[in-house]
Amino acid sequence: MTHIAKPRLHHPSLTRNAVGFTRRDYEGPVSTLCAGCGHDSISAAIVQACFEQDIEPHRVAKLSGIGCSSKTPTYFLGASHGFNTVHGRMPSVLTGAALANRELIYLGVSGDGDSASIGLGQFAHIMRRGVNMTYIVMNNGVYGLTKGQFSATADRGSVAKRGAVNVESGIDLASLAILMGASFVARSFSGDKAQLVPLIKAAISHPGPAILDVVSPCVAFNNHKGSTRSYDHVREHNAALNRLDVFSPAEPVSVDYAPGTEVRIEQPNGTVLLLHKLAEDYDPSDKAGALAHIQARETAGMVTTGLLYLDPGRRDLHGRLNTVAAPLARLDETALCPGAAALAAINDALR
Amino acid sequence: MTQKLNAINDFVVKFANVNGSGSASANELFARAILRMGVPVSPRNIFPSNIQGLPTWYEVRVSGAGHLGRRGGVDMVVAMNPETWKQDLAELTPGGYLLHDSTRPLPESAFRKDVTTIGVPLTAICNATYSDPRQRQLFKNILYVGALAQLMGIEPAVIETLFARQYKGKEPLIASNVKAMRLGRDWVRDNLPADICGLRIARADAVGDMIFAEGNAAAALGAVWGGATVCAWYPITPSSSVAEAFEGYCKRYRTDAATGKARYAIVQAEDELASIGMVIGAGWNGARAFTATSGPGISLMTEFIGLAYFAEIPSVIVNVQRGGPSTGMPTRTQQSDLLSCAYASNGDTKHVLLFPEDPRECFDFTAAALDLAERLQTPVFVMSDLDIGMNRRLCRPFAWEDGRRYDRGKVMTAEELEVGKTFGRYLDVDGDGIPWRTLPGTHPSRGAFFTRGTTKNAFARYSEEGADYVANMERLQKKFATARALVPPPELSPAGRPTAWGAISYGSTAPAMAEALATLVADGHPLDALRLRAFPFPDSVRDFILAHDKVFVVEQNRDGQMRSLLVNELDVDPARLIAVLHYDGTPITARFIIAAIRDRLAAGVVTPLERAVS
Ligand SMILES: Cc1ncc(C[n+]2csc(CCOP(=O)(O)OP(=O)(O)O)c2C)c(N)n1
Ligand code: SF4
Ligand SMILES: [Mg+2]
């Protein structure tokens, strides 16, 4: 594989966002994934979301595990630092990075093999720890990079390209994340940009552990008839719960909505999420209800998408550790070293 | 009748207790009282892998000469555990002493004729004095310390000072402890012959300004003074107290006075994979981060350690070694993770190891490791062990120079990027193999790069070109060579006269080695000795080996791991290096080293080779 540089010539007519960047500034080099791979659409959605959200690219740290999905951070946000870690262990590296510098925006990217198979433990623990991040799983039900074996999210009964039938039940990462304590849990589909982009924006604006389980068909190994992760299957079985709009603290939110169909949710950092309900009886703040709903739809063979769960009040890891406001990475000797006199006192106590 | 042992400031007392009976602080009180008399002691906890009810021992070596290694042999047993009575008694040197609770009479067959039995009715005295069962138990321990003080000539005032210090502000506790101590002392004075015990403490001045510290707490202090802000760990004996002590010291020294906020972050991870992952993430993002673990944890961390090596991320791992393989002997000491750390992970990897000899060096080397990790942008291991980590050891006081700056290594700033300084993440611009790095968030448009464990070119671009791979691997090799001049150099102790024999040791073997060398010289076997303090080895190590016909490599593992490392890295003739190996889980002793070296000398194994070339 070679690195294909994209021409960086800015067309003067390219519009700039509030922080002075064009959409191009959020892109990366050309993807080397298969043409039509769902992961590339998610990368494009990330680019669009960050541009629209007025995020300075260098303030994002993007981390991933190993897999086709985990390669994507190379192909978006070229001006951000990135870290392709080891298979299934991105969550711990992201946690450490977040501990070191609480000022950056953390974007974790993973696959279903990376998060649900080898990395299920770290996936669960990062949610429970409350790390402030956006965690995107590009979920295709297979291991793309190692050529099409079933992953742990593959649905029971799904048929592999060569005909094998998956006999084990699949892990639903969204339900698991709700149980583990994630405070923003959503699901979407790589083929539904209109739903996906606002969800990514909302996840980034959320001051806590936000996870997006994005169904992302693998055209090379899991897009055939009989697969439950093919473009056709997901389009036919997508049960969207709601649509979102995200408003930054600066923007005035003036909306008039028919009671019961739209809900305004204010987050502790001031951002406002406006939820347009599609399934009227669905309340994303009700944990048990959310889990029951997802389960019921799944039994009916449907994929529930949209904002599944939101707990705007939960404190993040730094809040619980009560760390100073300045990034730990920036503290120097004066802030960290107690000095010779304090050490002499310790010596005295040890005599 | 065997001659009673008579010794002043030179003997071994072993306390046999039941785990959880509150004996630990009484036993430590005994050791501290002797220190306060100016006489060096080195205590060792011998404990099983469980919490309560099983036997534990506390072995105190008293050595006016300042020998701090384990001696071997026991001159007095304080037998407080009926379960281990037989074995404790059997261990006693003929002529030694047995101190026991004589409340319940025991048949004559329970005792040894060649041992002086000193019975003190501890339970009876306690029962007559205290009604609360917990007090009866706790003060029984203090009572035997009082009895020992009288038997050995430890000044009661010294013990009383220690109580006053320990229970400062809790006056009733001081009084009750003093009372218990005196009860023991008085009973011995009033009921036993004054000369019953030949083991005596005589006031001396051999302790000086030394401190009595545990290696794990010392490593934690090194991490605080050395500027670590992120600690991620998973509990494992014998390393847990490193992270626990770090937390304690951070609360005290790193809490912002004005806001009450923490200038540190500690996470107890879900396993060692996660703890090293967090350390690597924090190191990548510019914080000084460390973890503490032991052998099984290292095994789990190895994939990540390879990533940190190849992607060049500062990380510090304190490995408090215990007996392996597998779960091995979790509460016993060994130096058996050398190879698994030196070459941890798949592919061609090599890591910097530091070998502290005592708590002072645990402090120094943990602080140094944080500098080295950032300077070299690589994992650095502090190779402590249970013997140093979980026992109090007399050592030089900790030292820190105000004004000492942390070496944050080659980190390119926003200003440097702004003026257009060339940035290639894996570019060797200075010829030392160490590239420059940038931290995430530094500059709006320059210096961002992608970190990965796959091959890349000097500008951090993904590459599968053989030439890029080889260039990078060779630069890493050069960087490792640079490390040789940055790590703590070995310490040479010349024999004082010409000799063809040398001895190499490292880590916690130091005190036993020093003692053994002194005896061997006195016996007409002078050896030059080199104490290794780090890997990679500076050139002086090879020079030392080549300057001697034979070199004993003394270490605490089965396979001669340091010897293998020396042969492998220095390309020296293995026949020059004679392994002296101790690995039963107890700390190595001077007696063992002396016997092993004498044996080999006698067997002619080390008849000096005729020099092929002169
Ligand atoms: C320790 C380890 N085991 C196995 C592999 C091989 N491996 C690479 S990617 C992968 C699966 C990736 O699947 P997923 O996360 O679903 O990503 P996708 O390629 O489907 O996007 C495996 C098993 C590895 N890199 N590391
Ligand atoms: S193999 Fe599948 S997952 Fe990987 S790039 Fe191709 S389509 Fe995408
Ligand atoms: Mg996959």
Whether residues A84 and B303 touch (CB distance < 8 A) is answered with no
Q: Is residue B471 part of a domain?
A: no
Helices (H) and strands (E) in chain B, counts: 19, 23
The answer to whether A273 contacts chain B (CB < 8 Å) is no
Q: Is residue B109 part of a domain?
A: yes
Residue B243 shares a structural domain with residue B196: no
Chain B, residues 281-320, CB within 8 A of chain A, namely 281-287, 289, 303-304, 307, 311
pLDDT given for residue B256 in this prediction: 96
Domain of residue B120, CATH code: 3.40.920.10
B260, B281, B283: residue with CB nearest A94: B281
Taking CA atoms, what residue in B is nearest to A348? B211
To the nearest whole Å, the CA of B384 is away from the closest chain A CA by: 20
Q: Is the CB of A140 under 6 A from ligand 1?
A: yes
Residue B523: which of B577, B603, B595, B587 has the closest Cα?
A: B595
Q: Is residue B447 part of a domain?
A: no
Within chain A, where are the H helices?
Answer: 38-52, 68-71, 90-100, 112, 120-129, 173-180, 193-205, 231-237, 287-299, 317-321, 333-336, 339-349
Q: Are A55 and A19 in contact (CB under 8 A)?
A: yes
Gap between the terminal Cα atoms of chain A: 63
Residue B220 shares a structural domain with residue B324: yes
Distance between Cα A68 and ligand 2 center (Å): 6
A56, A97, A122: residue with CB nearest B284: A97
Q: Is residue A336 part of a domain?
A: no
Q: Is the CB of A217 under 6 A from ligand 1?
A: no
Residues 6 or more apart whose Cβ sits within 8 Å of residue B136? B123, B126, B127, B130
pLDDT given for residue A344 in this prediction: 98
Residue in A10, A19, A76, A81 to test binding to B, most B beta-carbons within 10 Å: A81
Residue B193 shares a structural domain with residue B285: no
Q: Is residue B390 part of a domain?
A: yes
Q: Is residue B435 part of a domain?
A: no
How are beta strands B230-233 and B211-214 bridged, if at all?
unpaired
Contacting residues of B for A125, CB less than 8 Å apart = 269-270, 274
Indicate which residue's Cα is closest to atom 3 of ligand 1.
A87
Among residues B339, B369, B395, the one where a domain terminates is B395
| Complete DSSP assignment for B480-514 | HHHHHTTSPPPEEE--SS--SEEEEEEGGGHHHHH
B227, B442, B451: residue with CB nearest A337: B227
Residue B147 shares a structural domain with residue B190: yes
pLDDT given for residue B520 in this prediction: 96
Both tokens of B203, joined, read 């006031």
Domain of residue A243, CATH code: 3.40.50.970
Q: Is residue B428 part of a domain?
A: no
Amino acid (1-letter code) at residue B191: N
Whether residues B453 and A89 touch (CB distance < 8 A) is answered with no
Mean pLDDT, contiguous 10-residue spans, chain B (614 residues): 92 94 93 98 89 86 98 97 96 98 95 97 96 91 98 97 95 95 98 97 98 98 98 98 98 97 98 98 98 98 98 98 95 97 98 98 98 98 98 98 97 97 97 98 96 96 96 98 98 94 98 97 95 97 97 98 98 96 97 95 59 35
Q: Is residue B343 part of a domain?
A: yes
Interatomic CA distance for residues A60 and A50, integer angstroms? 9
Distance between Cα A143 and ligand 3 center (Å): 4
Question: How many of the other CB atoms lie within 10 Å of CB of B258?
Answer: 5
Q: Is residue A81 part of a domain?
A: yes
To the nearest whole Å, the CA of B446 is away from the closest chain A CA by: 7
Q: How many domains does chain A have?
A: 1
Residue B153 shares a structural domain with residue B110: yes
Domain of residue B368, CATH code: 3.40.50.970
**For residue B238, cis peptide bond before it (omega within 30 degrees of 0):** yes
Among residues B371, B395, B419, the one where a domain terminates is B395
Structural domain containing residue A31: 23-321
Contacting residues of A for B264, CB less than 8 Å apart = 323, 328
Residue B133 shares a structural domain with residue B224: no
Please tell me what DSSP assigns to residue B64: T
pLDDT tens digits along A285-321: 999 999 999 999 999 999 999 999 999 888 899 999 9
Residue B172 shares a structural domain with residue B232: no
Interface confidence (ipTM) of the complex: 0.96
pLDDT given for residue A261 in this prediction: 78
Interatomic CA distance for residues B532 and B555, integer angstroms? 11
Structural domain containing residue B375: 213-395
Ligand 2 closest atom vs CA A40: 8
Whether residues A61 and B285 touch (CB distance < 8 A) is answered with yes
Q: Is residue A332 part of a domain?
A: no
Among residues B153, B172, B200, the one where a domain terminates is B200
Residue B27 shares a structural domain with residue B102: yes
Residue B32 shares a structural domain with residue B180: yes
Q: Are A108 and A73 in contact (CB under 8 A)?
A: no
pLDDT given for residue A9 in this prediction: 59
Q: Is the CB of A37 under 6 A from ligand 2?
A: yes
Contacting residues of A for B452, CB less than 8 Å apart = 83-84
Q: Is the CB of A221 under 6 A from ligand 2?
A: yes
Residue B166 shares a structural domain with residue B302: no
Ligand 1 closest atom vs CA A110: 15
Ligand 2 closest atom vs CA A69: 3
Residues 6 or more apart whose Cβ sits within 8 Å of residue B381? B316, B317, B318, B319, B341, B351, B352, B353, B354, B369
Residue B159 shares a structural domain with residue B238: no
Contacting residues of A for B396, CB less than 8 Å apart = none
Q: How many domains does chain B have?
A: 3
* Single pTM value for the model: 0.96
Q: What is the CA radius of gyration of chain B?
A: 27
Q: Is residue B477 part of a domain?
A: no
Q: Is the CB of A114 under 6 A from ligand 1?
A: yes
Contacting residues of A for B450, CB less than 8 Å apart = 73-74, 81-84
Dihedral of the alpha carbons of B401, B407, B412, B415, in degrees to the nearest 10 = 0
Distances (CA, A) of B284 to A96, B379, B462: 9, 12, 18
Low-confidence residues of chain A: pLDDT under 50: 1-2
Whether residues A329 and B284 touch (CB distance < 8 A) is answered with no
Amino acid (1-letter code) at residue B170: K
Contacting residues of B for A346, CB less than 8 Å apart = 221, 398
A104, A331, A335: residue with CB nearest B441: A104
Residue B404: which of B364, B357, B355, B360 has the closest Cα?
A: B364
pLDDT tens digits along B7-19: 999 999 999 999 8
Strand partners, B204: none
To the nearest whole Å, the CA of B508 is away from the closest chain A CA by: 20
Domain of residue B528, CATH code: 3.40.50.920
